[in-house]
Structure 1
Amino acid sequence: MSEQQQLNLGVLETSRETVIEYLEAVGDKNQLYLSSEVIPPLFISARILGALLSVLKLPSGTIHSLQEINALKSVQFGEKIQGSAIVSGSRARGSVIFTTVDYTVATLLGEIIQTGKTTVLQPFDI
């Protein structure tokens, strides 16, 4: 995987139904997000990780090992947001490849909502 590879992660769905599915999946019973109709920041990073896994076409056995999140602005249910990322590093160590990706999530008008970094470990095929 080449370094500094720009990735378009597309427009992310933020509907009430999608957020409820996420909250149920992670066992979050706090009603704050539903009553305020504000999307949990970790929902956004989870959606970004899902998009990254799809775009990068990582092999079976890949492990998500690290996540850094910087939430800059709250997002309301139904707001359209888009993600982009850059593969900022990839190095082999032993039997795995460490791949680090920096990502940005913004409104369709370009206002940055969240930035972060994620690292995955993938098997090294010789």
Structure 2
Amino acid sequence: MKVAGLHPNGVTVVAVLASCARSKLVELAGLLAEANEFIKKMPLEPDGSVLGALLGACKVHGAIELGNEMARRLLHMQPRHSGQYVLLWGIYAGAERWDHATALRKTMIDAGIKKIPAYSSNDSM
């Protein structure tokens, strides 16, 4: 897009990140860090959908540290939204970090945050 002189908006960024994550192109090109840098340099402040797309890519590719960073930012923006908890739990479970997964689940329970059925993962919470 940059080479073609196009200027993506937030919707475009989300669509590209989600498409790359779902088709595993991020893994093939090794561009999770680059996607994060792109988001940091965007001319607009990334919203929950942009950060959520990168968090989803982190889950698909097991990027624990970047996933933690994205989840931390999302939880600051939307502390009662269950989707980021579910994705982060999936990252921890995929890495067999059961202590982190259990602590995150306890945090959800203590805060009264319930998993919405539409926000599911391959892993069962």
- TM-score normalised by the chain length of structure 2: 0.22
Structure number with the bigger relative contact order (C-alpha 8 A, sep ≥ 6) is: 1
User: Which structure dedicates a bigger proportion of its chain to strand?
Assistant: 1
User: Which is greater in Rg?
Assistant: 1
